[in-house]
Amino acid sequence: MVKILKHLREISQLNIFKTFYYYLLIKYPRGASFYVGPNSLIQISKKAKVNLKSGCFRVNESWFHNRRRIAKGALIMEDGAQLTINGDFTMYDGSSIYIAKNAILEIGAGSFINNGATIDCYLHIRIGAKCLIADYVRIQDSDSHTIIESGENKVNTRPIIIENNVWIGKNAMILKGVTIGTGAVVAAGAVVTRNVEPNCLVAGNPAKVIKHAIQWK
């Protein structure tokens, strides 16, 4: 009975039409699945590619399991964009992912982005396995505009790497060109502009190391 109720709840949260449409559009292997929640904006170019290796990719899932609370979420992929998901990954309600032309976003198994979180990928972002990305976090590998200093254009786009088992707190920002090491924690509201070593806690704007050799669960 518990399993039946669980499946009924999952079905009630789906946008059946979009789930079926992308089932036909995206060629994913046996055992993988793509669920589209209600109130979802999905625009995937026919020249983009979604690679679901295994597990379930859920778009605009309700954190509260209450359909009335679901805010609008979005997945937008331009021509040549690539999204690779290596296992279970959930975008909770109100979160969004944008992948620009020819950009690459890779996500490991067991990771999620929470309510209102945003990933803007213009070049290459890699997120490892079991990463917890909290409410209203922003991850972007580009400044979008170019700063000119002494007549020279500064690089405005650089890759981001977030290794396995990273916890990013509410309202944090992860900016271009940084690597966040395995097991690290980014405190709520932190602005990460430089690399974070493994198993460190960083906080502040710009983010600085507060503690070393930490663990979290």
As a whole number, the mean pLDDT across the chain is 87
How far apart, in whole angstroms, are the C-alpha atoms of residue 24 and residue 62? Answer: 24
| Per-residue confidence (pLDDT) for residue 78, from 0 to 100 | 97
How far apart, in whole angstroms, are the C-alpha atoms of residue 32 and residue 184? Answer: 29
Q: Find the mean pLDDT for residues 19-40.
A: 75
Collapsed DSSP state (helix, strand, coil) of residue 4: helix
Does the structure show a pLDDT above 80 at 95?
yes
| Per-residue confidence (pLDDT) for residue 36, from 0 to 100 | 87
Q: Is residue 217 situated within a structural domain?
A: no
Q: In the structure encoding, which two tokens stand for residue 175, read together? A: 């900016």
Q: Is residue 216 situated within a structural domain?
A: no
The one-letter code for the residue type at 117 is A
119-149 pLDDT, tens digit each: 999 999 999 999 999 999 999 999 988 777 7
| Per-residue confidence (pLDDT) for residue 33, from 0 to 100 | 86
Q: Is residue 64 situated within a structural domain?
A: yes
42-58 pLDDT, tens digit each: 999 989 999 998 999 99
- How many domains would you assign to the chain? 1
**What residue has token string 């690779």?**
84
Q: Is residue 132 situated within a structural domain?
A: yes
For residue 57, what are the domain limits?
2-146+153-211
How far apart, in whole angstroms, are the C-alpha atoms of residue 45 and residue 66? Answer: 30
Report which secondary-structure segment, H or E, holds 119: strand 118-121
Q: How confident is the model at residue 8 (pLDDT cuts 50, 70, 90)?
A: very low
| Per-residue confidence (pLDDT) for residue 181, from 0 to 100 | 98
Closest CA to 192 of 181, 178, 182: 178
Which segment of 5-14, 24-33, 84-93, 147-156 scores lowest on mean pLDDT?
5-14
- DSSP class per residue in 62-118: -TTS-GGGPPPEEEEE-TT-EEEE-S-EEEETT-EEEE-TT-EEEE-TTEEE-TT-E
| Per-residue confidence (pLDDT) for residue 64, from 0 to 100 | 72
Buried b vs exposed e over 120-140: b needs ≥16 C-beta within 10 Å?
A: bbbbbbbbbbbbbbbbbbbbb
CATH of the domain at 32: 2.160.10.10
How far apart, in whole angstroms, are the C-alpha atoms of residue 132 and residue 169? Answer: 8
How far apart, in whole angstroms, are the C-alpha atoms of residue 134 and residue 21? Answer: 29
Q: Which residue has the higher pLDDT, 28 or 201?
A: 201
Q: Which residue has the higher pLDDT, 33 or 113?
A: 113
Q: Report whether 133 contacts 173 (CB < 8 A).
A: no
Q: How confident is the model at residue 198 (pLDDT cuts 50, 70, 90)?
A: very high
173-188 pLDDT, tens digit each: 999 999 999 999 999 9
Q: Is residue 45 situated within a structural domain?
A: yes
- Of the chain, the percentage scoring pLDDT greater than 70 comes to 85
Cross-strand partners of 9: none
